[in-house]
Structure 1
């Protein structure tokens, strides 16, 4: 809670105002995100699932007998395809939403009774201690959904390096990365007709009100998704529709009409840019599946410490 409070207060006081996207994922936000993965406009989930359906057998050849460690596991829907193909020695889902994580882990234990499941409640942007039960197993990190795109490149590289340290010298990483495409398709994926993404974005303000004694008038804010061509990313903002004043954790704030709170980025990568990002993070691409080129799953090996940047 202290990090949430501090980051929200600092973000609202900053210019431009911004709140880290990881705070979307309380239990309610996690549930809304699972809705997002099913809306017609949100192509990444379907594209990635199609790649897993078509190629999970090939991916499994590279990680026999391993423990699968999933970063930001959510409901582990796509993961089930990989688990069936690999039959891993253990599965470690990592997620920031504890109740959601435990419910998912229980469901997986029921569906895969012979597979040990060791859930870890943690923010994967921080250093993570893996369960001691998998210490001696080879590890495959799984980072689906193009979540790496939520981070600015410097932070993405830092995370990839931490993953390499956490997973170990001989580990592998299977990572999803969204590709650059036409702007209309990109914007619609983050501003759907049914307004599910809008609810997801506005839930952040509702969470602030719930957990930090906020008085933010939710009706004064609207969801906005925009393409930033210079930085090759979709940006999500909460746009103030009128002048407002409110308090959060006893602190006073005021915002003018048309001012925004920047809540999320989703960077899109060309094939070459994606490989360069992974290399900077200490990983070498050894396999890649991209279907029609809209989305890619890359299998990487940890580069020897002496050659990692």
Structure 2
């Protein structure tokens, strides 16, 4: 059994030691992983990546937890740290051994290879294209192993998906809304409102169903245009995720007397999202780019933007 120092264990758990160094220092674990993967090769090709990811990520997670709970006890480190190292080797070797089979689809009909598809399905979706709140820790770990990152959003855009919400984002958004009445306009498939319900936020999702050729609208998304919905629900808080650029509906939010807070999730670029003319003309509201919330939208991008519009207090208030 290897003996690891407390300092080495902390660096490995924090991913502060490069793969090249790990391979040089612990070649015996690479051999173990190779042998274990060779056994798993008997599994059908369509299931092998899932089997490998499940095997090593589960063992690494257990090891990480036990080491942390032991407060880096020497015996616990020596018993469990090899599982963390082997998990990193397994991911590296999967790429090197080319177990992830590249797609042979022509460029004009691009889709993910088996490797990327498996990681993204487990990371971002519950089933099919049903999104789930994403763990930031897992995302940061796995995103670096996705080979064709740039094709993710163009592929899911076709299904009305323009971003993914981290669990941290949902919690921060829930705290911001609190007990105030809430309405989501242009809600699409209602994913955001649905996530907020898990945090006990009752946000009514509405949409005019104009994108029915792309989006399958669930029954809880009420069919109503933004103006009608605002008049009906007189909300204190309004949400809109990825509003169409130069749209005709956001201006009604700023004309609704009940609205104290309007939250826009989108981009900094007026060519991609939002009615920026309405934003700049909303003289009864302040406009703030919330850097923290913007950083919690996935995939990460310098262009991601969450704008908060707060109603200005009257001088007599």
TM category (shorter chain) comes to 0.3 to 0.5
Instruction: Please say which structure displays the higher CA radius of gyration.
Output: 2
Q: Which has the higher contact order (CA 8 A, sep 6+)?
A: 1
